[in-house]
Amino acid sequence: MIKENSSSENYEKNADMVKGCRKDSISAKKRIVIKVGTSTITYPETGNINLGKLEKFVRVLINLRNQGKEIIVVSSGAVGVGRTALSMTHKPTTEAEKQACAAVGQSRLMMIYQKLFNEYSQLTGQILLTKEAIFNEECKKNARRTFEALLGMGVVPIVNENDAISVEELSYGNFGDNDTLAAYVTKLVEADLLILLSDIDGFYTDDPHVNPDAKLIHTVSEINVDLESMAKGAATDMGTGGMWTKIQAGKIVTENNADMVIANGDDILIIDDIMEGKEVGTLFTAQS
């Protein structure tokens, strides 16, 4: 917990300084990566896809495309969808179980995305990444060229980690969560903005699930040790990424001249609010 007169108050003061610039800054972003979490697009009780919400999500993305924005989607949900299809009542505990769920769920999830985007005659392209594509220089160049080609053709890339083959023992390991993957994609394609949609309203001074006095920090201009100490772990059974991973994602993004927003995806239309510069979620501002 953060005590009174601590660094959390300084973040709120800094927020007031940049609040007026938020609308102009966000609305001017052209290349945007949007990560949608498992808890955002599935029903928590069953793990099944929330088709109504996913349909709204696609419609919001189409509207952004109509405004001339380039959109890249990093979608969680494959493991959760596969887990449900395989009638698993527990979160996968072994790498083999996770990979089996991903293999089943990824194709199902992509099929749903394609069907929804097709309603607007919007082409999508599936990209399954491993860490090698980010950290191996030759693979990174190829991955960047692929993204650029797809975006140049007006395609919406839908990205996920290649869970079916990524394992910790290989040379590069895996991303571990899609917050980190989304941050590296943002860096790879030199995007202007990363939006992380999760099950929490933004970054708090403490875990709001257990501390009712936790305060939402609207703007973060610097990620330091004090802020990292506020981060907590994952709070849902379906997802994998907690607040700590989002802070690490924020470091990657802001150090590469991009902004990041953490917001609650319960109402998917919050994306519109973010792009209109409204003070929703937590904005992490670029460091350069």
10-46 burial, b at 16+ Cβ within 10 Å, e below that, comes to ebeebbeeeeeebeebbeebebbbbbbbbbbbbeeee
pLDDT averaged over every residue in the chain = 83
Q: What is the predicted pLDDT for the residue at 18?
A: 53
**CATH fourth-level superfamily of 7-284:** Acetylglutamate kinase-like (3.40.1160.10)
Helices (H), the chain: 7-18, 22-27, 38-41, 51-66, 78-85, 95-118, 132-135, 137-152, 178-189, 225-230, 243-254, 270-275
Q: State residue 270 phi and psi, 5-degree precision.
A: -60, -20
**pLDDT per residue over 99-121, tens digit each?**
888 888 888 999 999 999 999 99
Judged by average pLDDT, the poorest of 36-45, 54-63, 137-146, 222-231 is: 222-231
Measured distance CA(214)–CA(196) in Å, rounded: 20
Measured distance CA(59)–CA(168) in Å, rounded: 36
Label residue 242 by pLDDT band (50, 70, 90). confident
Measured distance CA(164)–CA(63) in Å, rounded: 33
User: Average pLDDT of 36-64?
Assistant: 89
Tokens of 68: 């001339």
Residue 49 has pLDDT above 80, yes or no: yes
Percentages helix, strand, coil for the chain (3-state, rounded to 5) are 45, 15, 40
Which residues on adjacent β-strands are paired with residue 282?
Answer: 262
Q: State residue 222 phi and psi, 5-degree precision.
A: -155, 130
Residue 237 has pLDDT above 50, yes or no: no
DSSP 87: T
Q: What is the predicted pLDDT for the residue at 38?
A: 81
Strand pairing report for 156-161 and 259-264: unpaired
Q: What is the predicted pLDDT for the residue at 232?
A: 53
Give the start-to-end residue ranges of the domains of the chain.
7-284
First-to-last C-alpha distance (Å) of the chain:
31
Q: What is the predicted pLDDT for the residue at 176?
A: 63
E strand or H helix at 32? strand 31-36
Judged by average pLDDT, the poorest of 21-35, 180-194, 206-220, 221-235 is: 221-235
Dihedral sign (CA 231, 246, 250, 201): negative
Yes or no: say if 158 and 124 are a contact pair by the CB < 8 Å rule.
yes
